[in-house]
Structure 1
Amino acid sequence: MTPDHKGDETSGGMPLGIDFGGSGIKGAAVDLTRGDFAGDRVKIKTPSKSTPDAVAAVVAELIGQIMERHPDATGPVGVTVPAVVQHGIARSAANIDKSWIDVDADAVFTAASDRDVHVMNDADAAGLAETRYGAARDHTRGLVILTTLGTGIGSALIHDGVLVPNSELGHLEIDGHVAEKRAASSIREEEDLTWEEWGERLTVYYRTVERLFTPDLFVVGGGVSRDADRFLHLIDIRTPIVAAQLQNRAGIIGAALVAQEALDS
């Protein structure tokens, strides 16, 4: 965030988190003391042509709706995007409109909403939330790797509580295939894999990540984490592996957390 990206927020107001996904853009005011939503989540359908300007307009509308419910939500706004984000600039667009590449997303969202906006990768936001408030909150030392199993595979690396951003471990090449093209939750559905068949593919994936990074804990997020009891035990690795606790709230909570800490610093 540069000084020119400053909106009319106050550091004492409640922060907002917004999660930009393929089907919906969701947001809420976030109580960072509890690590949870301060009220109901608001959702608007993602525009069919999800260009930066189109998404920014929806984000501005979401902020307005959230403010109607929480007039005290005058703090900074965190927005997740499914892309590599380097100092507020989107550097990839694997699963979103290609017009996002090299766009200053911080500036676009700030201009549209007149608020202080901090943009980050969606899996990174979820990983920070799970580390601070969720499944990994007791792991303050060592390496935690969160993976989100959805349309693709997102990842977040947190070492001693500090995020190493934009790991993109779903794009690892394993046995001649991009990992997420073999092991994402969407692939399980498309190929009608049994849980056991998918578990074998996940084992190959997590063993590869385990060999490269030797983490202390894997946290598995994404919508399919609700079915963790059906597949997590099928993943045969040495590293402890657990389901995310915050589920689909993690991205919003993590985005708000990052935005607030960026403003405070």
Structure 2
Amino acid sequence: MSKKHEHGFGIDIGGSGIKGAPVDLHKGTLADERIRIPTPQPSTPEAVAEVVREVLDGFGWKGEFGCTFPAVVQHGVTRTAANVDASWIDCDAASVLRKVTGRDALLVNDADAAGVAEVEFGAAAANSGVVLVTTLGTGIGTALVVDGTLVPNTELGHIEVDGFDAETRAADSAREREDLDWEQWGARLTRYFTTLENLVWPDLIVVGGGVSKKFAKWSPHVSTRTPMVPATLLNEAGIIGAALLAHR
């Protein structure tokens, strides 16, 4: 990697905040303290793109950048919209970002970006083969990376388990909503991960999301045949992964 390309730029668009920072692409770390700006309401593509431009301008960043988004993203088009305005559905979002910011943008699903970062620089950096990265939060996000190559938009948080959309029963929000203890939640995660294992046969499962910080409390109550480890990049994973994918 040349000196020119030692740094990339990543932006993480969420329902409540838009965060961004330059990224050291050798180390997989933020190269400066990130900027966070509240997500505009209504969170239309044009309004969000204006905030993205503001973040880029805040660092004087002129080149291409990567941008995560909480949706299925196909070739720059956002096919769904989670916690953002419905006008994102079937929007050519990459073109909107390019027009408003004046820079080339790579748009990627937020869980996919985090997964790529964990495989390249985080908890799965020493592993090859099939790595399944899951984020347990309000919902369940997933990323599937095979020998370093991302299989985009897997959406495996929505598989049916015992007649339910999996994330409605096994996400961290379900644990909080139903006041489940770690053992009760662990039983649900066991059912979920066992179903996933039988579908994709991963070599490693990485668990992210805020609850990954409490991995030692709940993981003893989860039974899988696949080794399972907590994510290590936490809130920076999306920014790092987006920057890396844009560079590639």
Q: TM-score range by the shorter chain?
A: over 0.9
CA distance in 1, matches of 2:35, 2:86: 26
User: Does the CA-based 8 Å contact 1:75-1:260 persist in structure 2?
Assistant: no
User: Does the CA-based 8 Å contact 2:6-2:26 persist in structure 1?
Assistant: no
Post-superposition offset of 1:66: 2.5
The equivalent residue for 1:63 is 56
With normalisation by structure 1, the TM-score equals 0.89
CA distance in 2, matches of 1:191, 1:46: 29
Aligned residues between the structures: 245
The equivalent residue for 1:132 is 120
Post-superposition offset of 1:12: 4.0
User: Does the CA-based 8 Å contact 1:19-1:81 persist in structure 2?
Assistant: yes
Q: 1:156 aligns with which of 137, 140, 143?
A: 143
Show structure 1 runs of 5+ residues with no match. Answer: 1-10, 68-72
User: Does the CA-based 8 Å contact 2:6-2:24 persist in structure 1?
Assistant: no
CA distance in 2, matches of 1:49, 1:60: 17
The equivalent residue for 2:221 is 234
Taking the TM superposition and a 5 Å limit, the aligned residue runs for 1:179-218 are 179-218=166-205
Pair 1:13–1:213, CA change in 2 (3 A): closer
Q: 2:28 aligns with which of 12, 26, 35?
A: 35
Post-superposition offset of 1:52: 1.1
Post-superposition offset of 1:187: 1.6
Query: Percent same amino acid at aligned positions?
Result: 56
Question: Aligned with 1:136: secondary structure?
Answer: coil
CA distance in 1, matches of 2:108, 2:191: 28
Post-superposition offset of 1:112: 1.2
User: Does the CA-based 8 Å contact 2:76-2:93 persist in structure 1?
Assistant: yes
Q: 1:78 aligns with which of 46, 66, 85?
A: 66
Post-superposition offset of 1:94: 3.7
Q: What letter matches 1:125 in structure 2?
A: A
Question: Aligned with 2:143: secondary structure?
Answer: strand
Post-superposition offset of 1:233: 2.1
The equivalent residue for 1:88 is 76
Question: Aligned with 1:238: secondary structure?
Answer: coil
Q: 1:22 aligns with which of 6, 9, 15?
A: 15
Question: Aligned with 2:10: secondary structure?
Answer: strand
Q: Give the stretch that moved more between structures: 229-238 or 111-120.
A: 229-238
Taking the TM superposition and a 5 Å limit, the aligned residue runs for 1:42-57 are 42-57=35-50
Taking the TM superposition and a 5 Å limit, the aligned residue runs for 1:243-262 are 243-261=230-248
Question: Aligned with 1:15: secondary structure?
Answer: strand
User: Does the CA-based 8 Å contact 1:15-1:74 persist in structure 2?
Assistant: no
RMSD: 1.3
CA deviation string 1:234-253 (max 9, x = no partner): 21111000000111111000
Post-superposition offset of 1:194: 1.4
CA distance in 2, matches of 1:180, 1:89: 24
CA distance in 2, matches of 1:229, 1:253: 25
User: Does the CA-based 8 Å contact 1:12-1:75 persist in structure 2?
Assistant: no
With normalisation by structure 2, the TM-score equals 0.95
User: Does the CA-based 8 Å contact 2:136-2:210 persist in structure 1?
Assistant: yes
Q: What letter matches 1:65 in structure 2?
A: G
CA deviation string 1:54-109 (max 9, x = no partner): 21111111111122xxxxx4432100001000001001124432211110111111
Q: What letter matches 1:23 in structure 2?
A: S
CA distance in 2, matches of 1:233, 1:23: 33
CA distance in 2, matches of 1:74, 1:50: 24
CA deviation string 1:106-130 (max 9, x = no partner): 1111111111110000010011000
Matched, 1:110 2:98: yes
Q: What letter matches 2:91 in structure 1?
A: V
CA distance in 1, matches of 2:246, 2:193: 31
